[in-house]
Structure 1
């Protein structure tokens, strides 16, 4: 269960590493992009007509990843709670980057919400609330990666199968994408609201 201040955690990393994947506490840009590749697999093949909100967008790296691939989508909005990161993401992407806290602020509607790495430094309760709000603001689902397992950590938040099952039941949601094995202890899920019962 993390007992850290995410603001201090990430701003200290920014000061130490500069604008880089390590400032977002990834081991490397390669690991960051591996996670992005998996998130991309969960999205529709054709992004035309699709709007995406990147919750906890950091420096806007997912947008830059899509641009490097020559991908086009109808709309991209980044959400970031750390003001210095907001300014950096705006400068790098030239896209709409909102200075919001997902846990406390109202969120814009979009086809999909994505989040990469953001849950790692939240508590279990915060992760639950974060995903619930993203799911409620999405029309087609939320795609997220997380540290997978039952490990107890003073620094990072691990999510196990029991917590996933509890989340799905509480949200009345279902999994439409599930992938493990691309990086040790990492898992990516795509979750959407269950269709209303006809009974």
Structure 2
């Protein structure tokens, strides 16, 4: 079970801030874009590839890739929250699935990405989320986490070395990207 009720958490954020970066619990659109840039730098050119955005929120990563002229051949968003999934579908015009990534069937894709999608999960759930997404990716899985010492509260925090250990059983090559934003790091898993 997640650290807190995810649907209620995002309902409150959306009511307070609307359909924007703050509404999906980021500090600002600027910091959201910094995170997207770190993820995109691991992917390279996406033409012809299939990309699954696990926890796509409002579809902002798709819009970021569109601005960068680096859209994948096929984009699939997945989100648990019904209002966000509907907004992502409308904003992107892409296939958006309303699914629980921890429990329901996931599509096979070249790439999986997740930006902020695991911040409300327990450590055990984070491990399951990472394993399930990596197993469904042909080329790799790129995601970010909040950096810091684990503590009680809404959000989960990790140290890069802890994530490397968590991912070791997957047999993946693990690369860590830091320094683009204080309190955040990006992980690139690939075979």
**Is residue 181 from structure 1 mapped to residue 183 from structure 2 by the alignment?**
no
Q: Report the counterpart of residue 11 of structure 2 in structure 1.
A: 11
Range with bigger deviation, 164-173 or 60-69: 164-173
SS of the residue 1:158 aligns to: coil
Deviations 1:88-111 (A, max 9, x none): 111100000001110000100110
- Deviation of 1:162 after TM superposition, in Å, equals 4.6
Poorly superposed stretches of 4+, deviation over 4 Å: none
Structure 2: unaligned runs, 5 residues or longer: none
Q: CA RMSD in A?
A: 1.3
Q: Report the counterpart of residue 31 of structure 1 in structure 2.
A: 31
Q: For the residues of structure 1 that align with 2:73 and 2:62, how far apart are their CA atoms?
A: 12
Deviations 1:41-88 (A, max 9, x none): 0002x2112110000000000001111222232110000111111111
Q: For the residues of structure 1 that align with 2:59 and 2:112, how far apart are their CA atoms?
A: 14
Aligned to 1:190, which of 179, 185, 188? 188
**Is residue 62 from structure 1 mapped to residue 61 from structure 2 by the alignment?**
yes
For the 8 Å contact 2:77–2:96, the answer to whether it is kept is yes
Q: For the residues of structure 2 that align with 1:61 and 1:141, how far apart are their CA atoms?
A: 20
Q: Provide the aligned length of Structure 1 versus Structure 2.
A: 190
Structure 1: unaligned runs, 5 residues or longer: 194-199
**Structure possessing the higher radius of gyration over alpha carbons:** 1
TM-score, with normalisation over the residues of structure 2? Answer: 0.95
- Deviation of 1:7 after TM superposition, in Å, equals 1.1
Q: For the residues of structure 1 that align with 2:138 and 2:132, how far apart are their CA atoms?
A: 12
TM-score, with normalisation over the residues of structure 1? Answer: 0.91
Q: For the residues of structure 1 that align with 2:142 and 2:53, how far apart are their CA atoms?
A: 10
